[in-house]
């Protein structure tokens, strides 16, 4: 058999050994079409090195049973009802990675300055650490939340957020309405 066009103008033929080589090569290369990136293991809170500009000292925070860390930066209105499940909330927020890079903000022009985030607590999909961190806030209260990977995006990345990243959020509750029908 020859791999060239026959003299009669018929179709090309391929030697058997070449077909076998192409089949083996295809099997070997098919494993290269997909790849897996292994996420780094999550760090313990004590091992996270926060950029100095963020002003984060773990000793200033209270650890929650879930692993979330909360610091109250400004007290809210004492006569209000704490934010609870089903409440319609408006919050201003800024989010940072441990290295000090801001990855999202409701106020900053670089992120669209969208204005306060509107959501129903416990109903609209948010990362668990953010939901837990705003639960119980009073109107005009400001908190800083340190969210471990398990309560954030976990082993998957999201936009600028690498897998298994700790997140810092500064959150201010700017409006709160009780659930409809209450």
Q: pLDDT per residue over 32-80, tens digit each? A: 445 456 677 788 888 899 999 999 999 999 999 999 999 999 999 988 8
Same domain, 131 and 97: yes
14 or 117, which is more confident? 117
Evaluate if residue 9 carries a pLDDT over 80.
no
Residue 36's pLDDT is 54
Contacts of 127 (CB under 8 A, 6+ apart): 147, 151, 152, 153, 167
Evaluate if residue 125 carries a pLDDT over 50.
yes
Residue ranges making up the domain that contains 79: 45-177
Contact by Cβ (8 Å): 163, 156: yes
CA distance 14 to 56: 68
Evaluate if residue 141 carries a pLDDT over 60.
yes
How many domains would you assign to the chain? 2
> Within a domain: residue 40?
no
Same domain, 110 and 145: yes
Same domain, 11 and 53: no
Same domain, 30 and 54: no
Q: Tell me what the pLDDT averaged over the chain comes to.
A: 83
Contact by Cβ (8 Å): 132, 68: yes
């Amino acid at each position: 058999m020859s791999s060239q066009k026959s003299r009669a103008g018929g179709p090309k033929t391929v030697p058997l050994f070449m077909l076998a080589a192409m089949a083996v090569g295809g099997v070997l290369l098919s494993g290269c079409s997909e790849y897996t990136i292994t996420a780094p293991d999550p760090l313990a809170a004590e091992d996270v090195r926060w950029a100095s500009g963020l002003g984060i000292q773990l000793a200033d925070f209270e650890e929650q049973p879930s692993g979330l860390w909360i610091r109250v930066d400004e007290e809210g209105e004492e006569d209000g009802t704490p934010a609870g499940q089903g409440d319609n909330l408006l919050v201003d927020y800024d989010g940072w990675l441990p290295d000090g890079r801001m990855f999202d903000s409701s106020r900053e022009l670089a992120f669209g300055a969208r204005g306060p985030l509107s959501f129903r607590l416990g109903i609209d999909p948010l990362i668990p650490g953010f939901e837990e961190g705003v639960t119980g806030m009073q109107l005009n209260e400001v908190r800083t939340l340190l969210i471990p990977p398990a309560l954030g995006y976990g082993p998957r990345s999201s936009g600028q957020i690498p897998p298994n990243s700790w997140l810092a959020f500064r959150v201010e509750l700017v409006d709160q309405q009780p659930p409809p029908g209450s």
